[in-house]
Structure 1
Amino acid sequence: MPAFLEIPALDIFSDDGENLSSTIQLLLVMTVLSLAPGILILMTCFTRIIIVLGFVRSGLATQQMPPNQVLIGLALFMTFFIMAPVFAEVNEEALQPLFDGDMSQEEAFEAAADPMKEFMAEHTRENDLALFMGYAGEERPESLDDVPLTALVPAFAISELKTAFQIGFMIFVPFLVIDMVIASVLMSMGMMMLPPVMISLPFKVLLFVMVDGWHLVVRSLLFSF
């Protein structure tokens, strides 16, 4: 083969043949970082919080107020606040020993997965977990250690979706009542050409402010965990 067509060999192992080279380790770290948004969304309380906040904005019918950036920022900081004990345990049990060289990458991953699995299992419905365990042909787990993350993560995600929609329904009901009352009043006055939403919007905002709605919503989210 001509010299210019030769492909240089890539040694992905270090001299002892056991640990990956620093280049491959860096590639693995970048891969994990690229998956960080998905991990944040599906393995923490972020999903429930952002959906409930979206329901609040939809119920108020304020279009883009608050903006998406504000809702996402609030959801992120609430997620960090709620997950702080879990993240602290992951840092203490997995990250610090890994950085100090007292634990291998596989051991650190298993140690970091345990606190996350405990949090997710606490908020996962049994029938949702049974759905994925049954589809994968897995037997009924005797302990949390026997539950794989591949089944626990989607089960936790759909459990969070159901909980968020239940909370969103309760938030929507008062706003729906206001819309119905305003629409009935306008029809009784013969003002059928006037959009009820235009009249009900100030009343919904006024009611939400008077009952300190944001405080109640955030309080409910915090105590739901």
Structure 2
Amino acid sequence: MRMMRALGLFSGLLFAGLAVLPAAAMAAPDQPYVNLFGGNTFFGSGSHLDGGGTVGLRVGQRLGRHLGIEWQIASAFARLQDQSKSNANQYSGSLIGNYYAFSGNSSPYLSLGLGASSDLFNQQVGRGTSLLGIFGLGYEQRLGDHFGLRLGVQDQVLFDTPRAQGGALNNVQVTGGISYFWGGSEDKRAFPIIAPTQSGS
């Protein structure tokens, strides 16, 4: 139920942002950026984990008008569902490619990524590392030359998990964050200014 409310809130914010997109957005600069984010992770029912808050860091760069790449590291705070209620935090790192629908300062985007996740599902098996696949949707809004806001939802698939039953496990991560941009090439004018020619007298 909490996950459905969070997804509903994200969808509302996404469509609200799309409604105020400028008619002619400026081209996004090719600046590298760092994004600090927080949110919540909802673990799959077969994980035997109670989800909690999530914090993380992304470092990346736009590679063109519609493509970008970033490195993401995150920690999701969780507890075992057994009597001990022990900490079972998830630590993950992944390389993610983003496709931006628009080339301007405001755009929804699609994410695909691959990485690894360290998880503790029970005390008997202990902590193990799984291959991590990511499929996500998000929205980015630039705020001037150096700052921006991001909202995102990621479906994180853990392959061959170190559980007794093994197999894949789906987690859903909902986050929001602030970005800082620096460097990059200088902005170019959308329309060149042509000096008037002087006719001979």
> Where on the TM-score scale, by shorter chain, does this alignment land: which range?
under 0.3
Give the TM-score normalised by structure 2: 0.22
| Bigger proportion of residues as strand | 2
| Bigger proportion of residues as helix | 1
Give the TM-score normalised by structure 1: 0.20
Question: Computing the radius of gyration over CA atoms, which structure comes out larger, 1 or 2?
Answer: 1
